[in-house]
């Protein structure tokens, strides 16, 4: 079993050195930050963004737990990787903590991002305002469908995938979002690496083979829905069992009530050993 700092990408593409394939996105002196910690930092950042927009100046670790579901002790431990935060009895200054986490995650300035795939999912991603709110700026969208190339998509124009390397020489993007069919994903991935991309958010349901130094994060709607389906089925089974117990209890209660009622209304039978009444 792999530990918390699990593999972000596996360098299995032929011709690349496969050594040192376990990496983390952020390192601090004498420490390796577990990937789940980085994921939680992004969750804290989303909360801090909302609090800042609501003009809330301070927040406690218990309030962070209430709003994110992440244990307060875990929150404090996550922050401890990067130094001292907050004041005892006061809490955490929201704008300051937000600024420090954005610096930790290296999103304190705009980062150019390119998108491959102008289908339904790609179109939705181009129109998603949350990317820009968190300093991820979509600067180009590419496709290989000649019926789409040259057409506008929101504020961008769909470019020919054949021009990927040429255009990215000037765009200088190092992050890409991959929203293409599984059959095309590996080929497009190799094109991205050749064009200078070093981080890929992959929506294709396939394991990408990438060289060392290229990081991949996979997003699988089917995987997440399957997990939800499993949890839902467990809950439904518990409900069925509970309903079965309740019905059994009700049946037993009804039987007890009927027995008591029958005993109460049963006519008294004379004792046949008594002597007959004389006339």
Mean pLDDT per 10-residue interval, the chain, length 279 residues: 36 35 35 87 95 96 96 96 87 96 93 97 95 94 97 97 98 98 97 98 96 95 90 83 70 66 60 51
Which strands form 136-143's sheet, in the order they lie side by side?
Answer: 152-153, 156-160, 136-143, 111-116, 175-178, 199-202, 215-218
Predicted pLDDT of residue 237: 81
Predicted pLDDT of residue 88: 82
Regarding pTM above 0.85, the answer is: no
Give the ranges where 29-93 is alpha helix by DSSP (H). Answer: 35-53, 61-68, 72-80
Beta strands in the chain (DSSP E): 27-28, 31-32, 58-59, 92-93, 111-116, 136-143, 152-153, 156-160, 175-178, 199-202, 215-218
Q: At 180, phi and psi to the nearest 5?
A: -125, 165
- On whether the CB atoms of residues 161 and 138 are closer than 8 A, the answer is no
- On whether the CB atoms of residues 45 and 70 are closer than 8 A, the answer is no
């Amino acid at each position: 079993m792999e530990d918390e700092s699990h593999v972000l990408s596996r360098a299995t593409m032929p011709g690349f050195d496969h050594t040192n394939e376990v990496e983390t996105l952020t390192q601090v002196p004498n420490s390796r930050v577990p990937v789940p910690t980085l994921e939680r930092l992004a969750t804290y950042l989303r909360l801090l963004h909302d609090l800042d927009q609501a003009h809330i100046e301070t927040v406690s670790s218990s309030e962070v737990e209430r709003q994110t579901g992440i244990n307060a002790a875990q929150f404090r431990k996550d922050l401890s990787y990067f130094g001292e935060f907050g004041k005892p009895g006061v809490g955490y200054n929201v704008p300051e903590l937000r600024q420090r986490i954005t610096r930790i995650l290296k999103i304190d300035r705009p980062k150019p991002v390119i998108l491959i795939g102008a289908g339904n999912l790609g179109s939705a991603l181009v129109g998603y305002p949350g990317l820009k709110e968190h300093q991820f700026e979509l600067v180009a969208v590419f496709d290989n469908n000649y019926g789409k190339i040259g057409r506008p998509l929101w504020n961008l124009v769909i470019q020919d995938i054949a021009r990927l390397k040429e255009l990215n020489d000037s765009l200088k993007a190092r992050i890409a979002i991959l929203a293409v069919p599984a059959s095309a994903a590996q080929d497009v991935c190799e094109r991205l690496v050749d064009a200078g991309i070093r981080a890929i958010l992959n929506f294709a349901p396939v394991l990408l083979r990438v060289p060392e130094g290229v990081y991949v994060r996979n997003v699988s709607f089917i995987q997440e829905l399957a997990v939800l389906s499993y949890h839902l089925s467990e809950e439904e089974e518990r409900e069925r069992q509970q309903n079965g117990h309740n019905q059994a209890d009700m049946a037993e209660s009804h039987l007890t009530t009927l027995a008591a009622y029958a005993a109460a209304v049963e006519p008294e039978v004379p004792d046949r050993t008594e002597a007959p009444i004389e006339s």
